[in-house]
Every structure is written in structure tokens, then in C-alpha cells.
């Protein structure tokens, strides 16, 4: 909560909260708590309008659609506004004949099997999901806490520009060795062409 308060003081808008569910969290025993199976992911924006490409992260409808959409009531065929006055509503019939739906704000991803020489490494699927959701090719991704460079590596692979910041010089050197510049092709793969020999220009009079 302290982070949210401080970010708001700096003019950031707390837009959304996501949960990373660690499907394979390691077992253990602690005297005053249970093992961590999830982490909070907070979204902040400077403006109320921002780029968000929800279609890029849509998921299959799932088995629930086979039974839920089979027999629709009259209420399901119209917009059913929330009874608590929130302004939200739903029309179940809008999802007929659709193969995909928008995801929830819970990401079910396994943790990495190795720590990549960093104590808080996360799976590549995590930044990949958010990069797809909020950016397009050639956009710039900034990671102010670069660490092992997972976000930068994924961003480069997805043809985004990336900037990483970290106070630990060892991480900087490690990530620098891992990153490979991305080559873009206009119409054809890179090729070596024979240099043309210079010829004398013929003047036209």
C-alpha cells in the first residue's frame, strides 16, 4: 500500500492490479507464514487514456461455454446491469460463436527452474504477456530494475526497443553479453552484394 500511495503522490494513476499465480511454487516450512504462491503486479499510468491491445492476449473460450451458452435465458440475451450500481453489465449472448475471450487479471505461470544468477528471476512468459498487451513492434520498453535482463531479452525478441537500468554493475555486464541486436529485413534477408565499379559519367550537352 505504501508503494501505491507514493506513486500517486508523484502523479501516477493506479489503474489495475494483476496476480501472478506461481503454478509450481516450491514447498517449504516457515514458523509464521505459508509458502508464496502468488505475487502482485501493479499497473500505473500517467493518463486515463493509454494504449492497451487486449486482442493480443485473448484466450480460448474454455469448456464452460459448451454448457453456459447452450440454453440462454431472456436475461442472457439483453444487457444485465449490475444491481450494486457500479454501472457494469453483461450480455451473455454476445459470446455466442466466439472462439476466444478476454483473459482474467490472474496469470497462471510456472516459475523458472534456475535463478539466472539473480535472486528474483521470473519466467519470460510474464513480461511477454504485458509487452503484447501494452506495446506494438518498434515501441520502447523500459525496465528500471533490470536484474538478470529477462524483460529486455523478451522485448528484443519481440522487436521492441528496450532500456534497462540497474545499480549493480555485474548485472549490467551479464545482460550486455546476453543481448543480441535484432536485425530487421525490409523485403529480403541480409545479403552481401558485389560492389559496383565506378564509371565515368557522360556529360550531356
Classified as helix, coil or strand, 156 is helix
How is the chain split into domains, by residue range? 1-60+102-111, 112-182
Predicted pLDDT of residue 120: 58
Q: How confident is the model at residue 202 (pLDDT cuts 50, 70, 90)?
A: low
pLDDT surpassing 80 at residue 1: yes
Predicted pLDDT of residue 190: 62
Predicted pLDDT of residue 90: 82
Whole-angstrom distance, CA of residue 78 vs CA of residue 94: 9
Kindly state which CATH superfamily the domain 112-182 is placed in. Answer: Vaccinia Virus protein VP39 (3.40.50.150)
| Average pLDDT value for the chain | 85
72 or 54, which is more confident: 54
Across 19-24, average pLDDT: 93
Across 20-29, 32-41, 126-135, 141-150, the highest mean pLDDT is recorded for 126-135
Whole-angstrom distance, CA of residue 5 vs CA of residue 42: 12
How much of the chain, in percent, has pLDDT values that exceed 70?
Answer: 83
Predicted pLDDT of residue 93: 85
Q: How confident is the model at residue 54 (pLDDT cuts 50, 70, 90)?
A: very high
How much of the chain, in percent, has pLDDT values that exceed 90?
Answer: 49
The neighbour count for residue 143, using CB atoms within 10 Å, is 19
Across 31-39, average pLDDT: 89
Predicted pLDDT of residue 97: 83
Across 158-181, average pLDDT: 89
pLDDT surpassing 80 at residue 143: yes
Predicted pLDDT of residue 199: 58
The neighbour count for residue 5, using CB atoms within 10 Å, is 9
Can you give the pTM of this predicted structure?
Answer: 0.76
- In DSSP terms, 107 is beta-bridged to 20
pLDDT surpassing 60 at residue 149: yes
Whole-angstrom distance, CA of residue 138 vs CA of residue 162: 9
Classified as helix, coil or strand, 122 is coil
- Placement of cell 506494438 in the chain: 136
List the single range of 95-99, 134-138, 178-182 with lowest mean pLDDT.
Answer: 178-182
Amino acid at each position: 500500500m505504501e508503494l501505491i500511495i507514493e506513486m500517486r503522490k508523484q502523479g501516477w494513476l493506479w489503474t489495475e492490479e494483476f496476480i501472478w499465480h506461481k503454478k509450481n511454487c516450491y514447498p517449504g516450512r516457515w514458523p509464521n507464514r505459508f509458502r508464496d504462491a502468488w505475487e502482485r503486479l501493479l499497473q500505473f499510468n500517467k493518463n486515463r487514456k493509454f494504449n492497451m491491445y487486449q486482442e493480443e492476449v485473448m484466450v480460448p473460450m474454455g469448456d464452460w461455454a459448451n454448457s453456459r451458452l447452450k440454453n440462454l435465458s431472456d436475461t442472457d440475451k439483453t444487457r444485465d446491469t449490475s444491481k450494486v450500481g457500479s454501472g457494469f453489465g453483461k450480455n451473455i449472448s454476445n459470446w455466442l460463436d466466439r472462439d476466444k475471450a478476454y483473459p482474467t487479471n490472474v496469470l497462471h505461470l510456472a516459475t523458472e527452474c534456475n535463478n539466472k544468477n539473480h535472486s528474483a528471476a521470473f519466467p519470460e512468459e510474464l513480461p511477454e504477456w504485458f509487452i503484447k498487451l501494452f506495446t506494438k513492434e518498434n515501441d520502447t520498453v523500459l525496465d528500471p530494475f533490470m536484474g538478470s535482463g529477462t524483460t529486455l531479452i523478451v522485448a528484443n525478441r519481440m522487436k521492441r526497443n528496450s532500456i534497462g537500468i540497474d545499480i549493480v554493475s555485474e548485472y549490467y555486464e551479464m545482460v550486455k553479453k546476453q543481448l543480441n541486436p535484432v536485425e530487421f529485413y525490409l523485403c529480403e534477408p541480409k545479403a552481401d552484394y558485389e560492389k559496383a565499379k565506378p564509371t565515368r559519367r557522360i556529360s550531356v550537352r
